[in-house]
Structure 1
Amino acid sequence: MMLPRRYLPPIPALMALEAVDRLGTASGAARELNLTQGAISRALQGLESQLGVPLLIRERQRLQLTPAARDYVNDVRKALHLLASASVTLRANPMGGSLNLAILPAFGMHWLAPRLARFAQSHPEVTVNLSTRLRPFDFAGTTFDAAIHYGRQDWPGVAYLKLIDEAVIAVAAPGLAGLTHATDILSHPLLQLESRPGDWGRWLAHHGHPGHRPTGMMFDQFATLIQAAIHGMGLALVPTFLIGRELDEGRLVPVFGPPVAALGSYYLVWPQAGPDRAPLRSFRDWLAAETA
């Protein structure tokens, strides 16, 4: 709710008061603001009249603010600084704003988050707000501008920018590794994601053993699935970009064969019918360059 206009003094009068507080004289404020001393005096008198409160104590050639005015001018100084900063940001990047993005937690943590600093450096005018969503949703019922989607181009009513394809690799804790045949996985506990129950069957088919649909312990997120694998609870089929550190450190090791192309890819999606806001364009263009 906007305050009544009588509580919003003219900016030149506030600048005059702030300058007098720092410099102690109307003549000093006039020189700094490139005004006449009379203009400074009139601005201060008008400010006192508008606020209905005495602001200045006049002692010979110097002006001192009343105790209440000193508190007031501290807030005024902050407000003037905020206005100036906002104007600088606007002039530097007139296409600024905020972007509300729905992300998949594993992709957001391991792929997107390490890159966001580069976006912030190149687009300081855009504030990116991140929230987790595991499945497609209706953009019309949310405040989201865009989302990260895994799978195929099967989200209705959206436009797509393909980010990366995915490759998965079968891994386990070191004590469970070293299988001789792909079907040896059927003799071990298997870990799998709730949203991808057929991954192990597709992995076996890729290695020449179709027709299997093995079951296993279910997880709703890769983070907990990976931790279960590290602690020896079973074999896991995990996107390679999620476990680079775990492989490098030997906490997880491949159990059989190289990475296998997954069925899905990662996309940035946004409503086809929505407004093409400048922050979304900036983010989309940046992602296109990152993944080129």
Structure 2
Amino acid sequence: MLAPRRFLPSIASLRALEALDRLGSATAVAEELNQTQSAVSRQLQALETQLGTALIIRDRKKMRLTPAAQDYVTEVRAALQKIAQASVKLQVNPEGGSLNLAILPTFGMRWLVPRLADFARLHPEVTINMATRLERFNFAQEPFDAAIHYGKPDWPGTGYLRLLDEQVLPVCAPGLIAGETIAHPRDLLSFPLLQIQTRPYAWGQWFASYGVQAQGITGTLYDQFSTITQVAIHGLGIALLPDYLAQPELQSGRLVAAYGTATRSLGSYYLIWPQEKSRNKSLRLFRDWLAGQVELEDGLPR
């Protein structure tokens, strides 16, 4: 059951308040909402009357929100965003069955996307919309139902499914180590070590797994594995790549292992979703399908 009408202001008045918080003047609000300034003022006054509290400090021609109104509009903005997201999903797929998914760019393109044809064959009624995100985000403020995440399943208020553990391997162009003797992991310290933004401690962890204390590792920094792979192929340094990403380049001969075999990193890949979305039918279908893909993956030699 919804709250009483007096606690449910009109969308128009809430949009006016939200815009005033961002823009700082009724004139700017009127321009953004394509209304007259007097119409905006009436909506704001009606909102104050309905809620029975002052929301706006009016100082001559300037208007600003009270501290309480600023807290209020933060929640209102999130609610308006959710309404907009629901409307877009309905418009894109009026029959229902869409899933908005945030993916890590390289993992999404190299591991997930090649498998999606199977999901589409099994569940043609579900449309999956994907966008890339490298950093964590707030589900309440982003238009996503779920996300592919690397690290640990420690997002508050979420459920998760482990997809696979990450195994990494130091790789480089053949010419970079031609004629060099690499008998121990510490020998790699004499080469440029390429760094990935999302794994700032990856090299330190890799050396530590071999008992090497490597302090102050430096090297050029990149934001995506696709970029760092190309940099390694062109002989600019050694990259620590996930094995699923390195394997095609190793098979083609464009990259070679700089030392050893793939080793377990400290993070894993997960599907993460807000608890309130747990019963979403499209999410359940996708999650169950992914679980089957993970079982197949775990049965393969690595």
State the TM-score, normalizing by the size of structure 1: 0.66
Rg larger in 1 or in 2?
1
Please name the residue that 1:93 is paired with.
none
- Is 2:242 the partner of 1:239? yes
Q: Let me know the Cα RMSD of the aligned residues.
A: 1.7
- Is 2:208 the partner of 1:205? yes
- Paired residue total: 200
Give the superposition deviation at 1:234: 0.2
Q: Give the counterpart letter for 2:224 in structure 1.
A: Q
Give the superposition deviation at 1:211: 4.6
- Work out whether residues 195 and 219 of structure 2, in 8 Å CA contact, stay in contact via their aligned partners in 1: yes
- Work out whether residues 146 and 268 of structure 1, in 8 Å CA contact, stay in contact via their aligned partners in 2: yes
Say which SS state the counterpart of residue 168 (structure 1) adopts.
strand
Say which SS state the counterpart of residue 221 (structure 2) adopts.
strand
Give the superposition deviation at 1:210: 2.3
- Is 2:222 the partner of 1:185? no
Matches within 5 A, 1:1-292: 97-177=97-177, 179-274=182-277, 276-292=279-295
For residues 145-173 of structure 1, give each alpha carbon's deviation from its aligned partner in whole angstroms, at most 9, with x where no partner exists. Answer: 10001001221211000000010000000
Cα distance in 2, alignment partners of residues 206 and 227 from structure 1: 26
Give the superposition deviation at 1:102: 0.2
Q: Give the counterpart letter for 2:274 in structure 1.
A: P
Cα distance in 1, alignment partners of residues 229 and 102 from structure 2: 22
- Work out whether residues 190 and 215 of structure 1, in 8 Å CA contact, stay in contact via their aligned partners in 2: yes
**Matched residues, percent identical?**
56
Cα distance in 1, alignment partners of residues 278 and 196 from structure 2: 35
- Work out whether residues 198 and 213 of structure 1, in 8 Å CA contact, stay in contact via their aligned partners in 2: no
Q: Give the counterpart letter for 1:130 in structure 2.
A: M
Q: Give the counterpart letter for 2:112 in structure 1.
A: L
Q: Give the counterpart letter for 1:248 in structure 2.
A: Q
Cα distance in 1, alignment partners of residues 242 and 101 from structure 2: 22
Q: Give the counterpart letter for 2:294 in structure 1.
A: T
Q: Which moved more, 1:174-183 or 1:201-210?
A: 174-183
Q: State the 4+ residue runs in structure 1 displaced beyond 3 angstroms.
A: none
User: For structure 2, which runs of at least 5 residues remain unmatched after alignment?
Assistant: 1-92, 296-302
State the TM-score, normalizing by the size of structure 2: 0.64
User: For structure 1, which runs of at least 5 residues remain unmatched after alignment?
Assistant: 1-85, 91-95
For residues 104-150 of structure 1, give each alpha carbon's deviation from its aligned partner in whole angstroms, at most 9, with x where no partner exists. Answer: 00110100000000000000000111100111111111221100010
- Work out whether residues 171 and 246 of structure 2, in 8 Å CA contact, stay in contact via their aligned partners in 1: no
- Work out whether residues 188 and 235 of structure 1, in 8 Å CA contact, stay in contact via their aligned partners in 2: yes
Say which SS state the counterpart of residue 190 (structure 1) adopts.
coil
